[in-house]
Chain A
Amino acid sequence: MKRPRLATLVITYAALTVITAVVLYPVLLVIKKAFEPGRQFAINASPVPSTLTLDHFGDLFGARGGHGELMFLHHAWNSLVAAAATTVVGVILSCTAAYALSRFRFPGRRAGLTAFLVVQMFPATLLIMPLYVLLDRLGLLNSMAGLVMVYATTAIPFCVWTLKGYFDTLPRELEEAARMDGAGAWQTFWRVMFPLARPGIAVTALFSFMTAWNEFIMASTFLTDDSRYTLPVLIQSSVGQYSADWGFFAAGAIVTSIPVMVLFYVLQRFLVGGLTAGSVKG
């Protein structure tokens, strides 16, 4: 393609630079706040800190709760347990169903696919109130088991759809060969297809983990006892309406989101295909 005119070049680079600056500015402000003393956000607009301190990180990691436990580690553990349990439950319960939806033909298959799709697209916030009433009745508010049940409502349909998409890409010849050798349906799945699907399962699992790790509103509704808080609830509560400590927030936000952001960058090319592939075509 031929080189564009100088004016086009200048305008393009200028526009790109401005947009990139707008994208980076809030992130830089948070980094600045994390290393700058004081609880308030920013009196001046500069994204460069004037004095450096590690106090906010000290507050974050050093804060102790009512039983002398380290608060941050405690809440990180809660987050980790909730996200890991959701992932395990989601993947284990959905991989056989994803395989069946990909390979078997049976009446009700399309209806099943649509049902999983609708549940995945529609927000869990629609179910928040009935789930609250039910978990209250079952005595599962403020428990990790209850939170995992709530997270599973979105994790399972997500896993079914992404894994089904992955099984669709695997060749059928190996299965047929296994069948010829006399393997039953379960053996074919467990000995042949499951090992082949491991990369897809790993990616799906990591995405479920990220989603649960980043979830805020369910956790803040279902966990009212502050020793049960997950990290998002802890971070949000640090900038509540009456006492805001933006330094604590910034340090917490950085520590909490860096691992998932790294994961996101590694996995993002898998995400787009999966999301749009199933969304409307059914």
Chain B
Amino acid sequence: MSTASNQMRDWGLAALFASIVAIAVFVGHRNHELRARQLELASAGAEAIAEGREPPTGVEAAGLVGAARPSPHYAFLRKRTVITEGKVRELGGAHAPATDKLLYDAAQRFDRNGAFVELLGDNSGRAVAARAAKNGIAVSVVAPSNPAGMPWLILLGALGLGAVIAAAGALVGGAARPLGLALGGALLAIPAYGWGGAGATISIVAGALAITFAQMRGTIDRCAAGLRRHKTALAFLAPATIAMLVLVATPFCVGLVLGFFDHHQGQWTFVGLHNFGEILSGGGRAFDDPLNFWFILGVTVLWTAANVILHVTLGVALALVLKQSWLRGKGVYRMLLILPWAIPNYITALIWKGMFQGEYGAINALLHSAGLDGVSWFSSWSTAFTANVVTNTWLGFPFMMVVALGALESIPRDFYEAAEVDGATGWQRFWHITLPHLRPALAPAVVLGSIWTFNMFNVIFLVSGGKPGGSTDILVTDAYRWAFERGERYGMAAAYGTIIFLVLLLWTVFGARIGRKEEAA
């Protein structure tokens, strides 16, 4: 009995996988066909209009659209006429059908880009075609068409038959059991071949074989036992884990996959490694071109190094000063000095952007009052980069200071007293006592701080905004611009995201190793 129920459990796994693959390929196949049909109908409609024939059935609106003329009342409004079913009328107006707007927009696009056939981007399923005709633009709009229904009957039939085969295999026992599981699990591959071709079939068969193999090795039984044994822990973990899978793993995987696609005007095209090739080869741009990946990487590394060095130096120096026993008003200084950390960083960035402004900025006003010339901060790379670094140093040093203060507190007094008795100089005390005690606390803070700085989006985006000409952009802001400021090149942005992720991962692994070494030391 237990053999049979385990067999059905394993078959269930295979069937679940097969059903997901089969449904996905079916939906993809169906949408592809529907799209092709709609596009074909739209271009047939436009062709019929251009040749003066009746458009075929299924076309929602079609006509010969005239050239745009200024409206008699408002010069900035442009009007077009349309000839449908032999009658001339104006497009739009009080009692015009809603499809008039589609005809008008299509004619506008035709004037800009020439003939086209495509699905509307509004997910309505309508297709539009426009082409040149003798006295105007032939436009046809195809009505949304209902997609074919899900083939539930085939799906259920294949699953039922598969279950019977798997169960029969278990009842016969011996070699029939894995055979039944493999056959029963792979049964859905047959209808999937019709929907999605060889790829879907192979993956379903491979899935069934993998599960059969796992059953023969006893892997599934062990996993099931493990799940039962740790079911309390798993139940406690479930809410956060499921949320992370949905909210983080899904977009992460989508990002990885999109890196292999090109996105242009709402259409995705598979381009393989092209995006990565274009990024890593610099896209044929010179090394000092602000769009060359290696230039941006260089700026990012320089940016990270400069900031982390300044943060650590300033933070440690201030911590050492604040630790002196003779210093008065320590609490007040500490409170004032962590102020930049307390201010939301987008506000800090905007304040400094205002201060670095050319005409009215406070920095130039200070320079003027010192008898110096003002600087146009965002018109050359070095000054714009400096402005970013100054801003980020201002907002970032308190974190290192607080970490260093905490670490200094943990150094026992006796160490210093003993050193003083031995006649060590101040420098020697710093080098041999303070620094070794600071390092274990600072190492993780430096790794964390370098990751924050590497990704300090707000400062770059809001202070210099990449000026001049994108040359002060770092990797994350450049990836953002590919997605949202350079014509929705989502594929490029995704490929950038993947590369940034790999760089960060390398650095974290490397940094963790340094951290561990420091701890051991």
Q: Which residues of A contact B (CB under 8 A)?
A: 1, 3-4, 9, 12, 15-16, 19-20, 22-27, 29-30, 40-45, 89, 92-94, 96-101, 104, 106-107, 112, 115-116, 118-119, 121-123, 125-134, 149, 152-153, 156-157, 160, 185, 189, 213-214, 216-217, 221, 232, 235-236, 239, 244, 246, 249, 253, 256-257, 260-261, 264-265, 268, 272-273, 275-276, 279-282
Q: A1-B325, A257-B343 known; A19 and B337 CB under 8 Å? A: yes
Q: A123-B457, A129-B255, A265-B335 known; A236 and B476 CB under 8 Å? A: no
Against A, the Cβ 8 Å flags (1 = close, 0 = not) of B211-239 are 00000000000000010001011111111
CB distance from B185 to the nearest CB of A (A): 26
Q: Which residues of B contact A (CB under 8 A)?
A: 226, 230, 232-241, 243-244, 247-248, 250-252, 254-255, 258, 318, 321, 324-327, 333, 335-348, 350-355, 357, 360-362, 365-366, 368-369, 394, 399, 402-403, 406, 416, 441, 443-445, 447-448, 451, 455, 457-458, 461-462, 476, 479-480, 483-484, 490, 493-494, 497, 500-501, 504-505, 508, 511-512, 515-516, 519
B346: chain A residues at CB < 8 Å are 214, 216, 232, 235-236
- Using CB atoms, name the residue of chain B closest to A260: B344
CB distance from A123 to the nearest CB of B (A): 4
Asked if B444 contacts A217 (CB within 8 A), the reply is no
A-B contact pairs, 25 of them (CB 8 A): A19-B318, A20-B336, A23-B337, A24-B339, A26-B351, A40-B360, A44-B365, A45-B365, A96-B235, A100-B236, A119-B248, A123-B457, A125-B480, A129-B490, A185-B236, A216-B344, A236-B462, A249-B350, A265-B342, A273-B406, A276-B445, A279-B445, A279-B447, A280-B447, A281-B519
Asked if A97 contacts B350 (CB within 8 A), the reply is no
Q: How far is the CA of A280 from the CA of B494 in the complex (A)?
A: 27
Asked if B350 contacts A235 (CB within 8 A), the reply is yes
Q: A41-B361, A99-B236, A272-B403 known; A16 and B355 CB under 8 Å? A: no
Q: How far is the CA of A244 from the CA of B250 in the complex (A)?
A: 39
Which of A106, A121, A157, A253 has most B Cβ within 10 Å? A106
Asked if A92 contacts B494 (CB within 8 A), the reply is no
CB distance from A187 to the nearest CB of B (A): 12
Asked if B461 contacts A123 (CB within 8 A), the reply is no
Q: A92-B239, A121-B508, A125-B457 known; A253 and B365 CB under 8 Å? A: no
A221: chain B residues at CB < 8 Å are 484
Asked if B236 contacts A127 (CB within 8 A), the reply is no
Instruction: Point out the residue from A3, A216, A253 that lies within 8 Å of B458, measured CB to CB.
Output: A216
Asked if B239 contacts A96 (CB within 8 A), the reply is yes
Instruction: Point out the residue from B234, B239, B347, B490 that lies within 8 Å of A257, measured CB to CB.
Output: B347
Asked if A127 contacts B255 (CB within 8 A), the reply is yes
- Using CB atoms, name the residue of chain B closest to A261: B342
B461: chain A residues at CB < 8 Å are 217
CB distance from B233 to the nearest CB of A (A): 4
Instruction: Point out the residue from B233, B444, B457, B476 that lies within 8 Å of A281, measured CB to CB.
Output: B444
Q: A125-B479, A160-B240, A280-B511 are in contact. List 16 more A-B contacts (CB 8 A).
A: A23-B336, A23-B340, A45-B365, A94-B239, A96-B239, A97-B239, A101-B237, A125-B455, A126-B455, A126-B500, A129-B483, A153-B251, A216-B462, A235-B350, A279-B444, A280-B515
